[in-house]
A and B are shown apart, each in its own frame.
Chain A
């Protein structure tokens, strides 16, 4: 995050040196195939810093795969993925999954874990964790086993854990698809706060209302290909492709 990022107090800083910006992320003619079957192909785009990008498309369009490929969980079998700082898998990014994977330990333990991975000292870990617990309203359940939280609480913890990673970009794969409306609203509020803190958001959703509420930009995928990449207002006002029009109209295209 840049030096001028709002909402960051110096005492929360864990590393002394600010890492160089990893954005924009460029994909150049990226494709991904498994066993000769092409799942993503010919995708070229730039993901700009500081924006909220919605990844849209029907089930099976390749949204999850696209996020995993950007995040670096899988590597393109064709084309190139280039971070602005030249790394192949940048460290200052995080991802929240559709179903949060929490470790079998306490809420606080789950937050401490990624910091321990990074070699953060015990004292610094403790401070960072207690700040995060307060910020995300998890303080009263710090010692509860993470696996026994409700779905909404689990996703909130997953977001808190992601935030603790100090990401420049946060990928979210359908983060509220299994949550009730009030938990969904809480998650959306948190995502806005992340965005206000300067964190770039790349999020897949099949919920049009959510995409309208949160989106600044939209990527529309169809059968593993990039159909549209434009500003959200323009996309919802008048999609350029037949597939996107049908998608917004609620038609099944397949």
Chain B
């Protein structure tokens, strides 16, 4: 049980971190830069927020399968594959949210920052830092999506006992065994974890608002 919870958190948190490392700068570029095709990228990232997890899982499965282009990495049916699939699910959320938060901030800040001598590139970390409370909400939404989803991790992880079984795939398994009581109990554990995390983030957000305006 602890192992399942640990794996779920490990996979999802890692995916969130990777999605942030990629998505925050990418969202910032979309917010501040103007280039041909930008509109298309914005629409695409917004649309991908609605990507069904199973489809994301299937894409990753086909890539990582031994018969796929990345088969030699031997990642299928490992936690690594699940991290990749979840990153794919979270990334559009992080990108879209970062873009929207930073666009608003940039509209408010850009004259002042230019006046102070900040280039667009130098403005990026400033905007990310000043938008941190709003961005945290989006990252949490991403975490929520990833920790709650089952379709993608089931396809690429295989729900292998002691190896790639997460909270959600365990819930699916117990449901299939007609073990609805255990399934609901696992669901409550998952909900509690998500609640605790959100409460912590909300508290941090309130604290930051009070301290930093």
List the interface of chain A (C-beta within 8 A of B): 68, 71, 73, 91, 94-95, 97, 101-106, 113-114, 117-118, 145-148, 161, 165
Contacts and interface: CB of A to CB of B under 8 A. Distances in A.
Contacts, number: 49
B211 A73 contact: no
7 contacts: A95-B111, A104-B129, A104-B213, A105-B129, A145-B213, A161-B116, A165-B116
Contacts of A101: 108-109, 111-112
Contacts of B193: none
Interface in B23-41: none
Contacts of B43: none
A192 B116 CA distance: 22
Given A73-B111, A101-B111, A103-B130, A118 B117 contact: yes
A105 B130 CA distance: 8
A73 B118 contact: no
Contacts of B129: 104-105
B115 interface: yes
Contact of A145 (B109, B112, B122, B212): B212
A117 B116 contact: yes
Interface residues of B, number: 18
B114 interface: yes
Nearest to A106: B212
B212 A147 contact: yes
A68 B108 CA distance: 15
Given A97-B111, A101-B109, A114 B212 contact: no
A103 B117 contact: no
Nearest to A101: B112
B116 to A, nearest CB: 4
A148 B108 CA distance: 17
A197 B210 CA distance: 37
A105 B112 CA distance: 15
A95 B211 contact: no
A117 B122 CA distance: 8
Contacts of B126: 103, 113
Contacts of A114: 116-117
Contacts of A147: 212-213
